[in-house]
Amino acid sequence: MSYKVIDNYLKDEDFNFVREQIYSMDFPWFHNNEITNAGETLGNNYYQIHILYDNNRPNSNYFDTLIKHFDFFNGLYRIKVNMYPNQGKFIEHQPHTDYKFEHKGAIFSMNDCDGYTKLEDGTKIESKANRILFFDPTKSHSSTNTTNKDRRVNINFNYW
């Protein structure tokens, strides 16, 4: 499986700005009962999301403010901020693909924690603040929550 990991992806001032916006008390989060839309039955299996961009248009007032710090894509399909809360136990979510059509993906980590993204071949990419993972989101992968921080936060990009 082909993937690329880059640490310290954004300049410190850009990373700090993005993090301050997402971690602010004003940033709206929306409850989602299913993480992979596969009918998980793991009990309290939920997360909070904020969709910045979807269906070829901005979906959030934060889109313009945050997107200018990322410049790796040519065309966007979706940008989603994910927040996986600490639920008192470590949960690796069911494998899934983002979409079936050919496109590219990236996951940008906002914080250090014991969570990770597990790729189809079993490789685990740890959540580390200011780390980005470029990968093929049409291949099976899994997310996790965290147990050593209050939450795991990342930004998921689907683009061409």
Tens digit of each residue's pLDDT (9 = 90 or more) over 137-158: 999 999 999 999 999 999 999 9
148 with 128: CB under 8 angstroms? no
Q: What span, in angstroms and rounded, lies between the C-alpha atoms of 50 and 77?
A: 15
pTM over 0.85: yes
Of the pLDDT bands very low, low, confident and very high (cuts 50, 70, 90), residue 39 is low
Report helix, strand or coil for 124.
strand
Q: What span, in angstroms and rounded, lies between the C-alpha atoms of 148 and 18?
A: 22
Which of 81, 80, 84, 70 shows the shortest CA–CA distance to 116?
Answer: 84
Average pLDDT, the chain: 93
pLDDT at 38: 56
pLDDT at 36: 66
139 with 121: CB under 8 angstroms? no
Of the pLDDT bands very low, low, confident and very high (cuts 50, 70, 90), residue 15 is very high
Higher-scoring residue by pLDDT: 39, 104: 104
Q: What is the 3-state secondary structure (H, E, C) of 61-109?
A: CCHHHHHCCCCCCCCEEEEEEEEEECCCCCCECCCECCCCCCCEEEEEE
* Domains contained in the chain, CATH given: 4-154 (2.60.120.620)
8: left (phi over 0), alpha (psi -120 to 50) or beta: left
pLDDT beyond 90 at 115: yes
pLDDT at 72: 80
pLDDT at 151: 98
